[in-house]
């Protein structure tokens, strides 16, 4: 069921109608049923996968909670008779049992993800080796990738790790845990929610709030505008350029990577706006996932603003644990002895960072282009960190840090750098991506920008006018957000102005949205993950 389909709109109307008419204590149960109905339309077999994840996580979460309660009860009951050594030994035994159950949950669910998502990738690489030795190749396995499996798997694994750490008690109502995992607005592309954040409003009784509903609806409209008017229109040119690398090289690569940056941002943030807006219409608070990333002045800042929940997940559940684990501490100790304090202390950080970005790339897709993309991001971040002393000296000599021109330079530089790395996402082939990137500097065909070639990319002049005006509006709204909520600002205007804005936004989607004859209603890009 596409977010952009009429079926989904009808589905939403039914859910909203029932949600605010049934007894409030049944609201979360309705959302659970609606979520499973929504997911059913992606394929009934997908329900099996998500159900297995829910049940296994629930059972092991309860087991971890029971072991924790067992420890507290035992120590309380025998606090007078147990020696400190006996208490320590008992805690170690319980800790070991909890650790084993955690590993079982992680390996089982991440194993499902790995088998489904990466089996054919592994077979393809093995076949490359077999070909070299003239051995018979392995056959590929016909596996269906459940929609949003990376998102709901990471969300549940974050939950079970937090339960293990004692951050909160395990949810003992399997229905409520199932809703947390399968909540339909965020199921297919995030955000990757934390249980203690989402559960605060997910299970509460919600009365109809006109302002909250209106604000949510406005955000949904804004999401559809970005998706249908901008992303789904410019995608035609992106596909034309990337599918014909021999024809469109040189300056067209630069054009393609800028177009793709616009498409990706409008597509992904549009989907997140729809997700957060629907949740708000239901009275539920979902974490923000973007904070004007294209205004970032460095790649590190960019990743703090882009797909925020993914970045914090990798930071909290991979980077930090890896940085302080015993093997890494041993490496740190050894490297400091061998290479000195300054270099030695960096090595564990380098290893942890590279591991995180390798995993990030692999999470995005089962292909080498995503892995290389992730590693290049990590490399650029590490190089940038190493150059910080030089940046400091530069700013001491030239007092330009706070000037508009220099900040604009930083923003443009970061945008072009991130867009360049995204070439690997555009062409989906490492060799082709590097060749096309090099062609921007070896084939100076700038005149192609002015001889009408841009009108041969599947876009006519009216399309460009719509895209340019849409991007201008996008930038204007982003700039306005720096001083507070745009919706609050609009709400403070006279009624005639408010409703004029809403009507114009609605009809711009109807009139200028890229759907109907000649257009394909594209699913959101991050659905593939």
Reply yes or no on whether the pLDDT at 458 is more than 70: yes
pLDDT tens by residue, 351-380: 999 999 999 999 998 899 999 999 999 999
Query: What is the DSSP code (8-state) at residue 513?
Result: S
pLDDT at 192 over 50: yes
- Between CA 493 and CA 1 the distance in angstroms is 37
Better-scored residue on pLDDT, 83 or 107: 107
pLDDT for the residue 517: 45
Tokens of 67: 């072991």
Exposure on the CB side of residue 480, measured as CA atoms within 13 A: 12
**Structure tokens, 102:** 């955690």
Share of the chain above pLDDT 90, in %: 69
Work out the average pLDDT over 413-437. 93
15/38 Cα distance (integer angstroms)? 11
Give the Cα separation of 10 and 185 in Å (integer): 14
pLDDT band at 9 (very low <50, low <70, confident <90, very high): very high
Whole-number pLDDT of residue 41? 86
Spacing of C-alpha 175 from chain mean position: 25
Instruction: Tell me the C-alpha distance between 41 and 43, whole Å.
Output: 5
pLDDT of amino acid 467? 95
The whole-number pLDDT of residue 269 equals 94
Task: Tell me the pLDDT band of 520, cut-offs 50, 70 and 90.
Answer: low
User: Dihedral through CA 149, CA 260, CA 316, CA 301, nearest 10?
Assistant: -170
- 523 band by pLDDT with thresholds 50, 70 and 90: low
Q: Is the pLDDT of residue 386 over 90?
A: no
C-alpha distance from residue 362 to each of 114, 155, 515 (Å) = 10, 17, 32
Instruction: Answer yes or no: is pLDDT of 527 > 80.
Output: no
CA atoms of 369 and 337, how far apart (whole Å)? 37
CA-closest candidate to residue 195, choices 161, 237, 234: 161
What would the pLDDT profile of 195-241 be if each residue is shown by its tens digit?
999 998 999 999 999 999 999 999 999 999 999 999 999 999 999 99
Share of the chain above pLDDT 70, in %: 97
Contacts of residue 388, Cβ cutoff 8 Å, sequence gap at least 6? none
Determine the Cα–Cα distance for residues 26 and 311; give it in Å rounded to an integer.
34
Distances (CA, A) of 435 to 94, 109, 257, 421: 56, 38, 14, 13
pLDDT in tens, 227-280: 999 999 999 999 999 999 989 999 999 999 999 999 999 999 999 999 999 999
- Chain mean position to CA 65: 30
User: Where would I find the H helices in 193-231?
Assistant: 195-202, 210-224
| Model pLDDT, residue 526 | 55
The reported pLDDT for the residue numbered 355 is 94
Tokens 């609605």 identify what position?
Answer: 506
Distance from C-alpha of 171 to C-alpha of 163, rounded to nearest angstrom = 9
- Alpha-carbon span 260 to 475, nearest angstrom: 16
Euclidean distance between CA atoms 87 and 75, whole angstroms: 7
What pLDDT, on the 0 to 100 scale, is given for residue 449? 85
The pLDDT tens digits for 299-316 are 999 999 999 999 999 999
Among 50, 174, 192, CA closest to 112: 50
Report the pLDDT value the prediction gives residue 524, as an integer from 0 to 100: 60
Residue range 484-516, pLDDT digits in tens? 888 989 888 888 988 898 899 999 999 998 865
Specify the range with the lowest mean pLDDT, choosing from 45-54, 340-349, 476-485. Answer: 340-349
As a whole number of angstroms, the distance between CA 488 and CA 519 comes to 35
For residue 325, give the DSSP letter: S
372 in Cβ contact with 354 (< 8 Å): no
Residue 119 to residue 373: CA distance in whole angstroms: 20
Q: How confident is the model at residue 318 (pLDDT cuts 50, 70, 90)?
A: very high
Cis bond before residue 24 (omega within 30° of 0): no
How many whole angstroms separate alpha carbon 240 and alpha carbon 237? Answer: 5
pLDDT at 90: 93
Task: State residue 525's pLDDT score.
Answer: 59
Token pair for 349:
């950080």
Average pLDDT over residues 286-299: 92
Instruction: Say whether pLDDT at 471 is over 80.
Output: yes
Mean pLDDT across the chain, nearest whole number?
91
């Amino acid at each position: 069921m596409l977010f952009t389909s009429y079926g989904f709109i009808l589905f939403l109307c039914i859910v909203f109608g029932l949600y605010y008419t049934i007894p409030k204590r049944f609201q979360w149960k309705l959302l659970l049923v609606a979520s499973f109905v929504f997911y059913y339309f992606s394929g009934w077999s997908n329900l099996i996968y998500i159900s297995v994840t829910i049940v296994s996580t629930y059972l092991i979460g309860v087991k971890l909670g029971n072991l924790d309660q067992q420890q507290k009860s035992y120590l309380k009951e025998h606090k007078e008779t147990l020696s400190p050594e006996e208490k320590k030994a008992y805690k170690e035994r319980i800790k070991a049992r909890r650790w084993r159950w955690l590993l079982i949950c992680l390996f089982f669910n991440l194993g499902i993800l790995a088998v489904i998502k990466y089996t054919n990738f592994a077979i393809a690489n093995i076949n490359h080796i077999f070909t070299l030795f003239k051995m018979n190749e392995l056959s590929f396995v016909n596996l269906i990738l459940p929609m949003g499996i990376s998102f709901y798997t990471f969300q549940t694994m974050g939950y079970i790790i937090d339960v293990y750490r004692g951050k909160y008690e395990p949810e003992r109502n399997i229905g409520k845990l199932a809703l947390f995992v399968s909540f339909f607005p965020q199921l297919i592309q995030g955000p990757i929610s934390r249980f203690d954040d989402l559960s605060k409003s997910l299970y509460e009784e919600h009365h109809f709030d006109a302002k909250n509903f209106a604000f949510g609806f406005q955000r949904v409209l804004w999401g559809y505008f970005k998706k249908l008017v901008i992303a789904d229109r410019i995608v035609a040119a992106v596909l034309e350029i990337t599918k014909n690398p021999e024809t469109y090289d040189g300056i067209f690569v630069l054009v393609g990577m800028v177009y793709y940056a616009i498409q990706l941002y409008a597509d992904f943030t549009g989907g997140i706006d729809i997700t957060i807006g629907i949740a708000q219409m239901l009275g539920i608070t979902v974490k923000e996932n973007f904070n004007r990333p294209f205004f970032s002045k460095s790649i590190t800042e960019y990743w703090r603003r882009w797909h925020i929940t993914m970045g914090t997940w990798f930071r909290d559940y991979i980077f930090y644990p890896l940085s302080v684990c015993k093997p890494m501490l041993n490496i740190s100790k050894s490297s400091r002895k061998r290479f000195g304090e300054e270099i030695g202390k960096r090595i564990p950080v380098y290893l942890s960072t590279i591991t995180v970005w390798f995993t990030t790339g692999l999470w995005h897709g089962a292909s080498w282009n995503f892995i290389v993309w992730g590693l290049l991001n990590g490399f650029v971040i590490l190089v940038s960190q190493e150059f910080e002393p030089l940046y400091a000296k530069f700013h001491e000599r030239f007092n330009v840090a706070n000037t508009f021109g220099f900040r604009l330079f930083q923003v443009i530089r970061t945008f072009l750098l991130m867009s360049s790395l995204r070439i690997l996402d555009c062409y989906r082939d490492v060799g082709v991506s590097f060749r096309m990137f090099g062609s921007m500097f070896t084939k100076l065909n700038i005149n192609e920008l002015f001889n009408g070639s841009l009108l041969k990319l599947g876009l006519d002049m009216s399309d460009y006018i719509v895209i340019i005006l849409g991007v201008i509006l996008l930038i204007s709204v982003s700039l306005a957000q720096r001083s507070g909520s745009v919706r609050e600002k609009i709400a403070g205007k006279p009624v005639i102005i408010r409703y004029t804005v809403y009507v114009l936004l609605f009809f711009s989607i109807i009139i200028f949205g890229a759907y109907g004859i000649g257009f394909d209603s594209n699913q959101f890009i991050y659905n593939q993950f």
